[in-house]
Structure 1
C-alpha cells in the first residue's frame, strides 16, 4: 500500500495527531476472503478517491476535516489471521485511550474482530451495529475463528449485537443469531419503521461495523461478495444520520472494498460514506470544541466495568 501523508490531502494543520479529534487507521488485509480477492487494495483506493472529493458537506453545512483527521501508518501484519486481529486490537485500543474518535478502513471483515474487541474493552454496555449482507456468525471457518465469516461471532457473545441488511447466511448461523435483533433485507423493504426499531434496540454507546456489500451492487459493485437486494444510498444516509443523532457512536469501521481498475464509482462512494459518517458525528460541534468520547481511564478504573488490566493503562 502506498503511504499518503494526510487523509484527503488536507493541510498538515488538520492532520496532526496531537490536535486531531479523529484517527483513521488503514488495514490493507485480505488474508481470509474466499471468493473475490482485492480487499487489501481497498484502503489505497479509498484514500485516492478521498483526495478527489469536495470537503464541504452540503447536507450538514460543515467541513468536518477541520475537526482534524489523523491518518496513521497502515497495519500490515499478515503473518496469520490471529496476529492481524491482535495487531488491530492493540492499535485501536491505544488510540481510544488517547481519547480519539477511532475509525478504520479495511481490508476484509476479519479486521473487525480486533476492532470490536478493543471498543468493547473500553466502553460499557456496547452495541455493535453490524450493517452487512452476510451474517458473519460462524464460530470458526476454514480452520480459524479469525475469518471474515466469523467477523461478529465474538460480538454476538460479548456485546449487544444488532444486525441490519442481512440477506445471505449459512443454516448453522441461525443457532447463534438473535432474530429479534436481526433485520433481514427482505423484511426491511416492506417495513417503513425498521430504522426506528433498529435504533430502539441499540444501547447508548454504539460501534458501527459497515461491510460495503450491505449496499446494493447497483450502486457499489466493487466488493468481494456482492449480493442483490441491498441498501440504497439515501436510505442508508437517513438511517446513519438517525443513529448518530440519537446514540453515542463511539467509532466505526468500513470494510470489503475490492477496487475495480475500470470503474472508480465504488471507491468514491466508500470515500463519501466515510466522510458523511464523520459529518453526522461532528455536525453539532464547532471546530474549537474539545472532543470527549466518554472514555475516561481514571473514571473507569474506579468502577467494576473496567475490563482491562492495570498495566494496560
Structure 2
C-alpha cells in the first residue's frame, strides 16, 4: 500500500488539482482477465514503487513532478465490465475538460475502452498508438464487448489505430486489423526504420495505450499474459521519445501490471516508464523552468482547431 496521498510522495504544493498540469487516475480493475490474475493490484504496486524512485531524470535533466501531478480518486466501479468502462470514460473526460494532461494506470486492458472513447470525443483526428503483445481486436469475448481482448476494437472503427509490438492474435482478429498500420514483433526486429514508419502514419494528436506485456518477459515478467520476443527498455524509450517530440501526445494509459511479491523489478519498471513518459512530454517546459501553473486546452491539443470541446456541460 502507498504511504502518502500524493503520487511518488511529492510535496503537497505539486499535488494540487488546481495547479497540477497532470492528472493520474488509478483503475484497479481485473474483471475480464482470462489467465494470470492480479491486475487490480497493479495501481497500488505502481504507486508504491513510484514512492521509492529518484525524481531527477538524468536523460532530460528535469524533475517533471514540479509541473504538478494530481493523484485522482481511483475508479473502483466493478459491477460489470460495461459499468467500469462508462466510469472510466466519465472520469477521463471530466479531467480532460478541466484542461489537464490525463493519464491512467490500470488494471487490465479493458479500462482503455473508456479512456480511448473519452479522448476521441475531445480531440480531432485522433491517433491511438497501441503498444502491446496482443492485437486485442475481438468484437466481443466471453459474452461482452468490454473484455480485455476487445480493448482496441472500438478504436479500430473510430480512430487512426496503429499497433506496435504485436506477436499474439486470433485469426478472427485479422478481419478488423489494418495490416498496413500493424507492426508485428517478428518484422520489427529486422527493420531499423520501424520507428520512423510508425510516426509517419500518425495524425497530429496521439493517445498512447501501453500494455506492459509489450515488453519482453525477461524485463517485465509480472503481466497476466507474457509473450516471448517483446520490446526491450532502451528501444522503447527511443521510440516514445520520438513520438513525444514529433507529435502532440494528448494523454496515455499503462495497463496490465500483475505484481509478484517475490519480484519488485516489474513494479519499478512501470513506475520509471510512467515518469519517463511525463518527462518526455514536459521536458521543454521543465527546462525553461516555467512558473505558469495553468494549462490551456490549446497546449494539450496543439492548436484550438484540433480540439472538440463543446460549450455544454456534461
Aligned to 1:275: 275
Instruction: Give the Cα separation in 2 of the matches to 1:235 and 1:305.
Output: 31
- In structure 2, the residue matched to 1:31 is 31
Aligned to 2:298, what secondary structure does the other structure show? coil
Tell me what 1:209 maps to.
209
Consecutive unaligned residues in structure 2, runs of 5 or more: none
2:279 is paired with a residue whose SS is helix
Task: Please tell me whether residue 198 in structure 1 is matched to residue 212 in structure 2.
Answer: no
Establish whether residue 65 from structure 1 lines up as the match of residue 77 from structure 2: no
The answer to whether 1:50 aligns with 2:50 is yes
Q: Which residue number corresponds to residue 312 of structure 2?
A: 310
* Distance in 1 of aligned mates of 2:260 and 2:308: 44
Aligned-residue Cα RMSD (Å) equals 1.9
Q: Residue 281 of structure 1: CA displacement?
A: 0.1
**Which runs of structure 1 show a deviation greater than 6 angstroms over 4 or more consecutive aligned residues?**
none
2:294 equivalent to 1:294: no
Q: 2:168 aligned with 1:168, yes or no?
A: yes
Distance 1:191 1:6 in 2: 42
Deviation at 1:135, TM superposition (A): 0.2
TM-score (norm: length of structure 2): 0.95
Residue matched to 1:246: 246
| C-alpha deviation, 1:292, in angstroms | 3.3
Contact 1:250 1:293 in 2 (8 A): no
CA distance, structure 1, for counterparts of residue 232 and residue 307 of structure 2:
38
Q: Secondary structure at the match of 1:104?
A: strand
Partner of 2:284, secondary structure, is coil
CA displacement at 1:305 relative to structure 2:
7.7
Count of residues in Structure 1 that have an aligned counterpart in Structure 2: 309
1:159 maps to 159
Render the CA deviation track for 1:211-256: whole Å, top value 9, x for unaligned: 0000000000000000000000000000000000000000000000
Deviation per CA, 1:194-225: give whole Å up to 9, x if none: 00000000100000000000000000000000
SS at match of 1:284: helix
CA deviation string 1:170-190 (max 9, x = no partner): 000000000000000000000
Alignment partner of 1:118 is 2:95:
no
Could you say which residue in structure 2 is the equivalent of 1:132? 132
Matched-pair contact (CA < 8 Å) for 2:101–2:300: no
Deviation, structure 1 residue 73: 1.1
